[in-house]
Structure 1
Amino acid sequence: MECSFQFVKLCRIETRRRLLLLGVVAVTYLMFQWLLLPYENALRSLLPQDLVPDHVAGSFLPIHSSAKSVMVRNPLTVNSSDLIDTPGFGGVEKYADSSRLGGEIVHESEPNKKERFMEIDSVLEEKGISNTFEHAADTNANENTPSGNGVDVAASLSLVSISNEENGSNLVKANEANYDFPEPTVLSKDEIFTENTPEVNTTVAAKHSDGVKTIFPSSPLILPAINQANASSLMSNSSSSVRSASVESDVVTIKNGSLALTSPGKKLMRCNMPPKSITSIEEMNLTLVRQHAKPRALRPRWSSVRDQDILAVKSQIQHPPTAKNYRELYAHLFRNVSMFKRSYELMERTLKVYIYKEGNKPIFHQPILKGLYASEGWFMKLMEGHKRFVVKDPRKAHLFYMPFSSRMLEFTLYVRNSHNRTNLRQHLKEYSETIAAKYPYWNRTGGADHFLVACHDWAPYETRHHMERCIKALCNADVTQGFKIGRDVSLPETYVRSARNPLRDLGGKPASERHVLAFYAGNMHGYLRPVLLKYWKDKDPDMKIFGPMPPGVASKMNYIEHMKSSKYCLCPKGYEVNSPRVVEAIFYECIPVIISDNFVPPFFEVLNWGSFSLILAEKDIPNLKDILLSIPEEKYLQMQLAVKKVQKHFLWHPKPLKYDLFHMTLHSIWYNRVFQFKLR
């Protein structure tokens, strides 16, 4: 009997011990899952296969799992064929699939992190570079990166290409063949569009108006736009003739003064809706004049010898000698060619730039020389290697350059499908705080004499607040996202297909051999491009308006030949206001037609865009052909000649040439700093 009681007692003790152990394991498991919640891996096994929660702004939105591959605007894929050494450039060739036209690409879902690093390892091993997945997975951008000729793990991450130029098989079609809206892109909290305003259900269809009068002012050209009432009456009579290329229930509506293609019952995100405010080119011109006349920059906390240099330069630029002969410059391209020439000469003679050495690769000091975001990489490479402007002593500098890559910032730190970019902005905030703590120059001006060059769409968000007073050279030059005319610089978004030969395929047919009136081909990004196709795709033989062309080399060459053979190349906005087609059109000597409200054209402070381009309001799309045909032949020939003349200012060279894209970018930064400088 006593043995039985002891046995029962032992069983109870063993049971309690096991229950306690199971409890510890359960708590540990729940804590582990809770820690993984930000990365969207927690509790997936408890949910149905076709309904996976996406964490957005503190809430969960049910989104079909099959659409997740197209929800992130710039996802990344790895392809071993993209890992190419460029010893002649000291940078990274970044491949973007040219068959997607204009460099705007949609990828299939990204491989998981382990597969990604294992693929990198296999390629690096073939090149004789040792690396391990465990080391790479634990690499942090904040860790110290070895310098020298060796290739470190963090730097090796930057070798991963965005996509493969020669292989179109890694693309997700996302119903683009039908020109329908993809699944909505889920954005961060500050980007989410909330529809609290009543919609204007005005259905409009394509109908061309007669007697459109075109005015050609000396300032950048903006042609007359139809108002909402006229658009409604103009297009309602022929609404039955317009059929959506995707679903016939889609209608063209006017919202916030812009055209948009909407589907009843489908809620669209901010990137697929028109902006609430529209700034015309005339308003931008007035803003520029006001900013240069009465700069709002803060006075430096204490004076510097360099301040006197800038004051002397500003006076000379404002009162330049009038040159009679401009051998290297085409005067019609500029707002004031005498001021530009004088400013450029003084920049070459005076300007000194200090480049901060702080910051680890691949986010800092790691230029990307190929693809859609190549502009920031080319400027970084050429700036860091330019002995004429760069000084080692920061006390001699007029400007301070912070050499980071917004593309590598996204690639290195953005957590796929997290829809949260706070850590990207925090990384740059900590970087600027490090500079402010180590050097006195940031605190002297509040960062007003510091500049950055960034081409990624997210750069305005990433540099907000903590870099607010800096001079920002941005491809996403959107006045509704904080771009300051007269201080910031609109950076040309150049789609570089070959880092070794950035001038490949340069040029186009003469004006007499350009028989296509207007051309466009590309993905259906944003709200505007579906409207363009709804009005003009397959509607008129003179208007070659397409959606995305099939992938492949032949398609890429067909795209280039279309640009080389067209009089006007349409450059409608995508998700953001900027488009690589603007520079592509100039590259192929086709007059760019910019259709993007609130977009500040590149080098706006010095160039007269009305001499070599058309800038149309988005709501002018229904009248597009009439507007183009109303331009006299003589005026067209003048503009086409101006496009050929302005081309030299939009070209990258391995060794910078006078007045090229590198010098134009640096000059605009210098020019805006001079006119924003305030001592008294």
Structure 2
Amino acid sequence: MSIAFFHLLLYITLFSSLTIRSFPSPNSPYLSPKIIFPNYQNMLINFKIFIYEPNSPLTFKSPAELLFYTSLRNSPFATRNAQEAHLFFVPFSADLSTRSIARLVRGLRTDLPYWNRTLGADHFYVSCAGIGYESDRNLVELKKNSVQISCFPATPGKFIPHKDISLPPLATPHAPHAPTNETASGSFRFLGYFRHTVGTESTLARELIGDPDFVIESEPSDEMTNAERLSSSKFCLFDYEIDISGIGEALRFGCVPAVITDRPINDLPFIDVLRWQEIAVFLRRGGGARELKRVLDGTSQDRYVRMKELGVVSSQHFMWNESPEPLDCFNTLMYQLWLRRHTIRYVRRE
């Protein structure tokens, strides 16, 4: 039995229960369920990626980058036949200078035929911090044409919406806590949980300290404490400008994310797949603690339960596994790349 066929069997088993029984189309966490699932199946069978061999051993800035690269190389998507590839992966180390990256792209242009066919539009690369706008032609084409996979949240000014992809932070795979009788009935110890790193607490966090409806703390002392906070809180608060990396973990524990931001967020993980407005609450920073409590308290029980349930289903896409599993983080990233395989040929200007 091939790996792709095995994935397909698991996919059919998993989603026959999720999409048909548990979540009819109006209450699905997915943007287009009728399109996504057949398209995902097609990807498992057909998607091929050619990986350029790096000139030297690679170094990575985050564990997620390393796991992505290792998973890709060992996956059935990788091919040694460039002629059958839909996309081409350009690997380079996290600490490589922009001059060296430009030299790398120049080598692809002059030594191999694939880059010039689309000026890099059917290529992608991983850069946790992202690549900025440079004057060098090779970097311009890489930045503007190729798909960038960068760590979430993306560095401001280094992410192009609808082209680039966010790489969710690494989280150990484990099932969400089953709702206790207390949480299932809608009774929680806390309305909101706001975790921050020492020295980075926001103005809103300072306003909420002492409010019995909220628990505000720096990084918990252990994983069990964190799990208890997540499972006993109705909402998990995230200040987008400071730290939003735990949003997938919150979903997994059934803690509905409440994201504080003053601008649209275009780099949310799996933004091509998930209906974020149905699994998270987004609030303006300027409203302060009073507005925050008004919005959270004003969320109806029916809407809250629906958001929580859809969020738990969505959380499977944030799970990293050493051996990728259907619709986990790696395979959902692959699906987003699959959506970008139809390239536009950019006119070459001398």
Normalised by the shorter chain, which TM-score bucket?
0.7 to 0.9
Say which of 51, 65, 68 aligns to 1:376. Answer: 65
Structure-to-structure mapping, 1:479-558, within 5 angstroms:
481-494=157-170, 496=171, 502-504=172-174, 506-507=176-177, 509-510=179-180, 511-512=183-184, 514-523=188-197, 529-538=201-210, 540-546=211-217, 548-549=218-219, 552-553=221-222, 556-558=223-225
Residue type of the alignment partner of 1:507: H
1:639 match: 307
Q: Is the 8 A contact 1:334 1:608 kept in 2?
A: yes
Cα 1:477–1:523 shift into 2, 3 Å: closer
Residue type of the alignment partner of 1:586: L
Say which of 659, 672, 676 aligns to 2:327. Answer: 659
Say if 2:40 is the partner of 1:344: yes
Write the distance in 1 (CA, Å) between the matches of 2:93 and 2:274.
26
Say which of 63, 88, 98 aligns to 1:425. Answer: 98
1:672 match: 340
Write the distance in 2 (CA, Å) between the matches of 1:392 and 1:435.
16
Structure-to-structure mapping, 1:113-512, within 5 angstroms:
326-329=16-19, 330=23, 331=25, 332-363=28-59, 373-386=62-75, 388-406=76-94, 409=95, 424-454=97-127, 456=128, 458-461=129-132, 465=140, 467-468=142-143, 469-476=145-152, 478=154, 481-494=157-170, 496=171, 502-504=172-174, 506-507=176-177, 509-510=179-180, 511-512=183-184
1:81 match: none
2:259 match: 594
**Bigger radius of gyration among the two:** 1
Cα 1:524–1:462 shift into 2, 3 Å: farther
Cα 1:534–1:328 shift into 2, 3 Å: closer
Cα 1:594–1:351 shift into 2, 3 Å: same
3-state SS in 1 of match to 2:140: coil
Residue type of the alignment partner of 1:381: T
Q: Is the 8 A contact 1:582 1:594 kept in 2?
A: no
Q: Is the 8 A contact 2:249 2:315 kept in 1?
A: no
Residue type of the alignment partner of 1:475: C
Q: Is the 8 A contact 1:569 1:592 kept in 2?
A: yes
Residue type of the alignment partner of 1:544: V
Write the distance in 2 (CA, Å) between the matches of 1:443 and 1:525.
48
Say which of 264, 277, 298 aligns to 1:610. Answer: 277
C-alpha displacement at 1:356, in angstroms? 0.7
Residue type of the alignment partner of 1:515: R
C-alpha displacement at 1:478, in angstroms? 5.0
Write the distance in 1 (CA, Å) between the matches of 2:131 and 2:295.
33
Cα 1:655–1:462 shift into 2, 3 Å: farther
Q: Is the 8 A contact 1:493 1:579 kept in 2?
A: no
Write the distance in 2 (CA, Å) between the matches of 1:668 and 1:602.
10
Q: Is the 8 A contact 1:460 1:481 kept in 2?
A: no
TM-score (norm 2): 0.80
Cα 1:460–1:586 shift into 2, 3 Å: farther
Write the distance in 1 (CA, Å) between the matches of 2:36 and 2:344.
18
Cα 1:481–1:566 shift into 2, 3 Å: same
Cα 1:514–1:452 shift into 2, 3 Å: farther
C-alpha displacement at 1:382, in angstroms? 0.7
Write the distance in 2 (CA, Å) between the matches of 1:396 and 1:673.
12
Cα 1:426–1:509 shift into 2, 3 Å: farther
Count of paired positions: 315
Say which of 583, 591, 600 aligns to 2:248. Answer: 583
* TM-superposition CA deviations, 1:334-373 (whole Å, max 9, x none): 111112123212212321100111231133xxx67xxxx3
Cα 1:342–1:479 shift into 2, 3 Å: farther
3-state SS in 2 of match to 1:349: helix
Write the distance in 2 (CA, Å) between the matches of 1:634 and 1:505.
24
* TM-superposition CA deviations, 1:26-52 (whole Å, max 9, x none): xxxxxxxxxxxxxxxxxxxxxxxxxxx
Ranges in structure 2 where 5+ consecutive residues have no aligned partner: 1-14
TM-score (norm 1): 0.43
Write the distance in 2 (CA, Å) between the matches of 1:615 and 1:589.
17
3-state SS in 2 of match to 1:345: helix
* TM-superposition CA deviations, 1:466-487 (whole Å, max 9, x none): 5211111222455951422221
Write the distance in 2 (CA, Å) between the matches of 1:646 and 1:378.
21
C-alpha displacement at 1:506, in angstroms? 4.7
Q: Name the Cα RMSD after superposition.
A: 2.8
3-state SS in 1 of match to 2:169: coil
Cα 1:405–1:662 shift into 2, 3 Å: farther
Write the distance in 2 (CA, Å) between the matches of 1:607 and 1:677.
25
C-alpha displacement at 1:431, in angstroms? 2.1
Q: Is the 8 A contact 2:152 2:168 kept in 1?
A: no
Residue type of the alignment partner of 2:118: T
State the identity as a percent: 23
